[in-house]
């Protein structure tokens, strides 16, 4: 990821991830943030569930009970197809903020792959409050939110004061490179094997 994110960042906010009935808290945040799309360059690359895809299909529109599984209009009008691999890293590298949110069953534990990808590509991670792995600290290497309103406030803060807030993203990138370097991972692996 070190090769990504060294140029302009024309995307104000990026979210890449799943969208289904198992992500109700995250879906509420995404809907509130999507309403900012008229004023900001927001990109959502969503991997929708089969039920969501069925509900939004021509057949699904004929079955009234499926209506509750459709994405809100604010989300569906900006949603793109999911991206993976180098395309994902390239998109993160073009983004100022990467929005993250845990799925409902995660409890208070955090630190999914998107966190590491945002840090590695130099974007500012904005994620929900919780227990994060080493090196991921609110106001030092990332920012957190507690609900939809605080998420919106954090986004506005970031974009209104990007020159200052970008330093948090830079700290995150440096920290992830130090805390999770290949050399450190190899050393931990050797220590693990030595105990066998």
Each residue of 147-189: pLDDT tens digit? 999 999 999 999 999 999 999 999 999 999 999 888 988 998 9
**pLDDT of 129 strictly over 80:** yes
Under the banding of pLDDT at 50, 70 and 90, the label for residue 52 is confident
Angle at CA of residue 184, ends 180 and 188, nearest 5°: 110
Lowest mean pLDDT among 28-37, 77-86, 180-189: 180-189
Q: Is the pLDDT of residue 18 over 70?
A: yes
Quickly list H helices, 19-128. Answer: 24-34, 50-56, 73-76, 85-93, 113-120
Full-model pTM: 0.91
Above 80 in pLDDT, residue 144? yes
Distance CA 83, CA 44 (A): 10
Domains of the chain, with CATH numbers?
A: 11-194 (3.40.50.2000)
Instruction: State how far the alpha carbon of 193 is from the alpha carbons of 89, 114, 184, 186, in Å.
Output: 32, 28, 14, 10
Strands annotated E in the chain: 11-19, 42-48, 79-80, 95-99, 124-128, 143-145
**What are phi and psi for residue 8, nearest 5 degrees?**
-65, 155
| Averaged confidence pLDDT in the chain | 93
- The pLDDT of residue 156: 97
Q: Which two tokens stand for residue 63?
A: 């079955």
User: What is the average per-residue pLDDT within 14-28?
Assistant: 86
């Amino acid at each position: 990821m070190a090769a990504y994110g060294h140029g302009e960042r024309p995307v104000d906010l990026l979210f890449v991830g799943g969208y289904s009935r198992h992500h109700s808290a995250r879906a509420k945040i995404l809907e509130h943030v999507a309403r900012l799309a008229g004023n900001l360059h927001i990109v959502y690359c969503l991997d929708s569930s089969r039920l969501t895809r069925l509900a939004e299909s021509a057949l699904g529109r004929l079955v009234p009970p499926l209506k509750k599984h459709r994405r809100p209009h604010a989300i569906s009008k900006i949603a793109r197809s999911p991206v993976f691999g180098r395309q994902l890293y390239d998109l993160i590298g073009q983004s100022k903020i990467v929005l993250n949110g845990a799925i409902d069953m995660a409890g208070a534990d955090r630190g999914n792959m998107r966190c590491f990808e945002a840090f590695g590509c130099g974007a500012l991670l904005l994620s929900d409050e919780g227990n994060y792995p080493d090196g991921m600290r609110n106001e030092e290497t990332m920012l957190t939110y507690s609900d939809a309103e605080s998420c919106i406030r954090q986004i506005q803060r970031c974009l209104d004061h990007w020159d200052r807030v970008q330093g948090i993203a830079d700290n995150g990138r440096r920290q992830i490179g130090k805390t999770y370097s290949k050399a450190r991972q190899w050393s931990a692996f050797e220590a693990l094997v030595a105990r066998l």
